[in-house]
Structure 1
């Protein structure tokens, strides 16, 4: 399961579910890899008046970008979340925060929770007819905890790596002592 594509669905103007945000730079919907911590990069299009107006309404909180992901592949049960947009609206353009974090809680091939939130980074100028480039980390956690999902505990010093490191150090000390005893 790790590495499989996780697709987002979001509500369209008519209230139906369709593909999530389309990244104009790749011409494909924003998606993630199950269990894989990474950075995303996605250019949102403001080329049409409708796209620009949607972002303005999201900034004003007049609308909400309601999205969902399938809890488990092939299961018709979804985990809901919103994609918030943070910005400032000017008469001729807008300033949009370009940093979004995505966090997932998962276990045993199931997605248990999702959250997306903006982090103050740089506000980029967006006008009708332009692209706005967004970026941010995607982090996966094990179950309902904040422990790393993957098998990288040893990198962060979490989980069962402490006994393993201790045992390795004890072995190295014993081996070094034995070699010194034999030589000297």
Structure 2
């Protein structure tokens, strides 16, 4: 316990005065979190905004009100995803009058579509004061007087700790952004299918300090100058598949070559007669 306290104190009082991110509601480093499990459904919430000016909504305690992402027609539940799994997900949402006017603000960049991912998988961890990671959706398109043109193709990039330790299954960063070359025309009352391509990064090298007793390694999870944008799990799967295919092709070619040699090889009796 003493070593843990000394490690956290050393991080907080370093020469650069660096502060660990994220912290909980008390401003403390979340030393103990309940990790996610591979494939576990990740639910998150988003800031609720006023449609007239995009300002946050507040409750009676003057706290920002959060609510779920719009419901997907495919599942009848708010959009969610599986932890640590690369996947493509369709989410069809209906544009009520309120959501339509909010998207006018989002596309015009008058207000961000701001959400948050809990650092811990514990039920209601954020409500209990737990730390969270910002998760912003950058929708793009064009605003017209009679309709909206929205890019429905969204890349979702999520960074997790660069190891495969189950006790560190949490988040470093996350962002979603429009990545298509086409838009869909939407008016109030219509539906739009959002196409999410979710990709996880768990192979980024950490450029910073390590060794402290923290939720995960401390430092800059930096993209290298050139890298393969996939997780270790997917990368090793491709390597294994390539090895198996190569071995089968080699076996097939060798088998055909041996058969051909046997087909044209003279028998002993015929050789003697010659």
TM (norm. structure 2) is 0.55
More strand by percentage: 1
Higher relative contact order (CA 8 A, sep 6+): 1
Mapping of residues 75-114 of structure 1, within 5 Å: 75=125, 76-107=130-161, 108-114=168-174
Query: Does the CA-based 8 Å contact 1:35-1:150 persist in structure 2?
Result: no
The 1:144/1:50 distance shift into structure 2, 3 A limit, reads same
Query: Is 2:102 aligned against 1:20?
Result: no
Q: Which runs of 5+ in 1 are unaligned?
A: none
Q: How many residues align?
A: 169
TM (norm. structure 1) is 0.79
Specify the structure having the higher radius of gyration (Cα).
2
Aligned residue in 1 for 2:233: 151
Shift of 1:32: 0.8
Q: Deviations over 1:78-137 (max 9, x none)?
A: 010211110111121111001011111113311111111110232101000101111031
Query: Does the CA-based 8 Å contact 1:104-1:111 persist in structure 2?
Result: yes
Shift of 1:24: 3.5
Q: Deviations over 1:34-93 (max 9, x none)?
A: 01100011112213x211100111111111111111123125210102111101111211
Aligned residue in 1 for 2:43: 7
Shift of 1:25: 3.7
Shift of 1:147: 5.8
Which segment drifts farther, 93-102 or 138-147? 138-147
Q: Which runs of 5+ in 2 are unaligned?
A: 1-36, 50-56, 58-63, 162-167, 206-227, 259-274
Which segment drifts farther, 125-134 or 10-19? 10-19
Query: Does the CA-based 8 Å contact 1:22-1:44 persist in structure 2?
Result: yes
Pairwise CA RMSD: 2.8
Query: Does the CA-based 8 Å contact 1:36-1:150 persist in structure 2?
Result: no
